[in-house]
Structure 1
Amino acid sequence: MDKTVKSIATNYGLYLGILLASVTVLAYALNLEILTKWWIGISLFLVIITFGIISITQSKSALEGFISFKDAFTSYFITVLIGILISSVVSVIIFNFIDPEAALTLKEKIIEASVEMMRSFNAPEDDIAEAVIKMEEAPSQFAIGSLVQSLFIQLVIYSVIGLIASLIMKKTNEDI
């Protein structure tokens, strides 16, 4: 693989990581409840995919308009991996070392938002109570084990999307 692809992907991964970490830090500093909003989750999901696709596009441009499926996927994957790793490390630092109480507050706000959403869908109160008990008993989402599991699941989901994007974006030079 061309060194250019790796450097482009690494740069975009760093930009993505800084953006994701900034969102976490700003939400922590301004209002933790921001992190419970569904639209933030969807927005960040789309931002991550966009950065991965931009990385493929820039790598393709650097390779004179041609990119193999492998290079396209590698560019996407490195970008996404670096970005979510940086974001996860920042979350661990904030919610486990700087302010563990914020993690508990955020968990409470997530439970409240979940209850509100379940009620808006007319879920039975028994089901809501059961869901609340499960959420309260669950380990913190910022515990190292939970974050590693979440990171793995995210990588699988983003990889499937990256495989599709790479398939669409690949372009081989027929003259070679």
Structure 2
Amino acid sequence: MNSIIKRNGFFIGLILGLIHILITCYLFFSQDPNAFTDLKIGMLKIFISILFGIIALLIVKHKMNNLIGFKDAFTSYFIVNFVSSILSFLFFFVLFNSFSSDVKRENIKKSMVEFQIKTMKQNNSSDIEIAKVRESFISFNPFSFIQGFNSTVKYLLRDSLIGLIVALIFRNQKVPL
């Protein structure tokens, strides 16, 4: 792997991670427990991640004399999102397990359950499916290391799929895949 890709991806990933940490701090100190399930904030975080991934890709492309293949394009995008995801996850885990009250965690968990059920109702899920989800949320702890890590991996996979599309768009046709 090219050192330009690694350095650039790591540096921009740190910046993106810090932005995600600032958003998490804003949500944490917000008085609204529904802030963590706010669709606008979630979409903003996705948009910022895509934007920073594209910026990293374009910087690498520029430093490589405007020649970048699919693999290098995807790698630069992926490193940015990987570093950011790890930083965000570690901060979230430490913040909620060290500085958050049980009441605050329970309110956020309740908000997450309500959001999931509301989404299922909007998608015309059956009452049986909704009851199963409601039952599964009894043991759900979004603040545990395992649950947080699982969520981080799922979001990283989502970002990787987006990264594949972005790399396909920004790669040079003359450079081999």
TM bucket normalised to smaller: 0.7 to 0.9
- For 1:143, give the aligned amino acid: S
Is residue 11 from structure 1 mapped to residue 15 from structure 2 by the alignment? no
Change (3 A) 1:21 1:69: same
> What displacement does 1:98 show?
1.7
> What displacement does 1:130 show?
4.0
The two structures, once aligned, show a CA RMSD in angstroms of: 2.3
Question: TM (normalized to structure 2)?
Answer: 0.84
What's the CA shift string for 1:140-168, capped at 9, x where partnerless?
A: 11211112212222222222221221122
Q: Distance in 1 between matches of 2:172 and 2:78?
A: 18
Question: TM (normalized to structure 1)?
Answer: 0.85
Change (3 A) 1:63 1:112: same
Residue 133 of structure 1: aligned partner: 135
Residue-pair matches, total: 173
Q: What secondary structure does 2:138 align onto? A: helix
**Contact 1:77–1:159 under 8 Å retained in 2:** yes
Is residue 23 from structure 1 mapped to residue 23 from structure 2 by the alignment? yes
Spell out the pairing of 1:43-58 with structure 2 (5 A cutoff): 43-58=44-59
Q: Identity of paired residues, percent?
A: 27
Residue 69 of structure 1: aligned partner: 70
Identify unmatched segments of 5+ residues in structure 1.
none
- For 2:115, give the aligned amino acid: A
Please say which of residues 100-109 and 20-29 is displaced more in the overlay.
100-109
**Contact 1:115–1:132 under 8 Å retained in 2:** yes
- For 1:148, give the aligned amino acid: F
Please say which of residues 75-84 and 159-168 is displaced more in the overlay.
159-168
